[in-house]
A and B are shown apart, each in its own frame.
Chain A
Amino acid sequence: MKKKAFIFIILFLVSNNLKAENNLEDWLSSKEYRFTVYMSKCKIEQLDGQYRNCNIFNNLRYKILVDNFELGKNFKEFK
């Protein structure tokens, strides 16, 4: 009886872990994950020689910002 209970607990824990890994796998293979890693590293050199990150909200003027932001252009173009 003890042996069965022990096996049941082990199987339960393993299946739980596998499901958690599936969710993690979904994230690691997602477009959002690749975009996140890319945006965390991406830097652009400015005219003054300083570096800023590549966030589209950084430099843009109102109209451009609205256009891109409404379309989600920066995100959608990333592959």
Chain B
Amino acid sequence: MRVFFLLFLVFFLNSCLLTGETSSLRESYKYSCLAPSMNYRSLDAKHSTKIHLVAWAKKYAVQAVSSEFKIEDKCSHTKILINALYTQNDGSILNWVNDRNKTSGKIKILKTIYDTRGNSVSISGGFRGCREYSSRLIKNGEVSDYKFLACPSALGWGVFDDSSGFPIPAHLVFAGWHFYDYRFFK
């Protein structure tokens, strides 16, 4: 029993406490397969370390017992995400299917926020160039929907604050985008 406890402790320390990242997230970083919805629980737990320590512990526990998509699926989703953010018009949908793993995913670009006056002072409340998109993941028939705001630069003070008045950090900075979880806008 003691050995089991020690092994668990070593595994836990190695997997997240020392690095702040789970092994699956490290693998996603290694292959640049970081689509936020695919790494949602790991990124959410990491994101919580910047906001609330109690929530951090709870979220780490949740992500530790959750089954994740395989790295190949994460990469497929990242591929259509990058394609969608940089090339697709609002309303476009891209998808992928993996019959072997019985998994699939979709990205839909919902909206792009423009600065219609075309000058350097944004009238779009700091959201200029941001793209709203939804992400749908299906694994063994189970559907998960996510919504993100991808911005070309970090959103600053007064744009995206928590209840204490501090700017909420992005969930992820990746491939030229700052990804914000849309639930913080509710």
Chain A residues with a Cβ under 8 A of chain B: 16, 19-20, 23-24, 27-28, 30, 32-33, 35-37, 39-40, 42, 52-58, 60-63, 65-66, 69-70, 72, 74-76
Residue of chain B at shortest CB distance from A22: B72
In the assembled complex, B118 has its CB within 8 A of some CB on chain A: yes
Complex CA–CA separation, A20 to B75 (angstroms): 11
Q: Is the CB of B33 within 8 A of A72?
A: no
Q: Which residues of chain B (73-119) have a CB below 8 Å from chain A?
A: 75-76, 78-79, 82-83, 86-89, 98, 100, 112, 114-119
Q: Is the CB of A58 within 8 A of B152?
A: yes
Which B residues are in CB contact (< 8 Å) with A54?
A: 176
Complex CA–CA separation, A49 to B95 (angstroms): 40
Which B residues are in CB contact (< 8 Å) with A70?
A: 89
Which B residues are in CB contact (< 8 Å) with A52?
A: 153
Which listed residue, B83, B117, B153, touches A32 by the CB 8 Å rule?
B83
Q: Is the CB of B79 within 8 A of A27?
A: yes
Shortest distance in angstroms between A73's beta carbon and chain B's nearest beta carbon?
9
**Nearest 4 Cβ contacts at the A-B interface:** A72-B87, A55-B176, A57-B129, A23-B72
Using an 8 Å CB-CB cutoff, how does the interface string of B162-186 with A read, 1 for contact, 0 for none? 0000000000001111000000000
Q: Is the CB of B100 within 8 A of A27?
A: no
